[in-house]
Amino acid sequence: FRRSCGSSKCATDVEFILNPSAATAWSAVQRQNGRSVGFVPTMGALHDGHMSLIVNAKSANKAVACSIFVNPLQFNNAEDLANYPRQLAADRESLERVGCDMVFAPSEIALYANHGVLTYDLNGLDKVMEGASRPGHFQGVVNVVERLFHYVRPNSTYFGEKDRQQLAILRHVANALKWPVDMIGCPTMREPNGLAMSSRNMRLSGEERQRATVLFRALSSIQAASTVASLKAAKHSAIEMILAHPGIKLDYLETVDPLTLQPIMEWDMRNEAIAMIAAYVGKVRLIDNITLRR
């Protein structure tokens, strides 16, 4: 496909934009024509989970944009950044098929031009789980989302709940800084075997993909056990399940409060909690979560 510093049209009238100012101009035209803008920020290597976000955005908005940008600020592992799958041409074709109106694929230099990296108050939500394992990750996420919002200027944006901690942090920042964007979480999409859809799944071998299903089985076991036992006992049993599987290296498995993301062991007065997991399957680090209700 043709790449330019502005935008190009394809047969299905999907705008492909590289220039940040062109993305802003596109968004302005939509609003001038009375069309609300739904936005799905991604790092590419798109799968059916991403497509479901586009579909959700299309159901509530007259115009839908998707960004494809592998953000170096949110990687604290150079090898992970280098190995992150990139397939821009295939991604664009997938977005055309589901009727996305605009694809924004800026360069790092263009997106961060005249923008120093900022430090945001994340209210301690970044100190646990992913934040503890990946220092600086969420600051990088908030920086790139702010830049994308600055240029795309959406009315609403759509995130998968697989990245539940990320969603909680972005909602906190959006509320604290009065970002004029509705932050909408959408259910995690799963493979038939229960594995949460993720771009990182592309790096799994067939055997590793099968091994990885234990993550969701462990979360499901907590969901079932927590209705009749303490969260602590349910979590302990799930950890034993994972440790019994060779080739899986557990990073964390926590049951947490939905608002504070702090670990909890008992229901107390709560009616809802979240079980969250991260583990290495071979060299690939995967995350998942499930909502617990009693």
Catalytic one of 50, 137, 150, 236: 50
Handedness of CA 269, 174, 152, 76 (dihedral sign): negative
Helix ranges (H only) for the chain are 20-32, 48-60, 78-83, 88-97, 108-111, 130-133, 137-152, 164-176, 206-211, 213-225, 231-243
Radius of gyration of the chain measured on its C-alpha atoms? 20
Other Cβ atoms closer than 10 A to 209: 17
Instruction: Tell me the C-alpha distance between 258 and 235, whole Å.
Output: 16
| 50 tagged catalytic | yes
Nearest to 73 by CA among 108, 114, 121: 108
CA triple 213-216-219, angle to 5 deg? 150
- Lookup result for tokens 């907590």: 222
CA triple 109-113-119, angle to 5 deg? 105
Other Cβ atoms closer than 10 A to 70: 17
Instruction: Tell me the C-alpha distance between 221 and 238, whole Å.
Output: 6
Other Cβ atoms closer than 10 A to 192: 5
**Active centre residues (catalytic):** 50
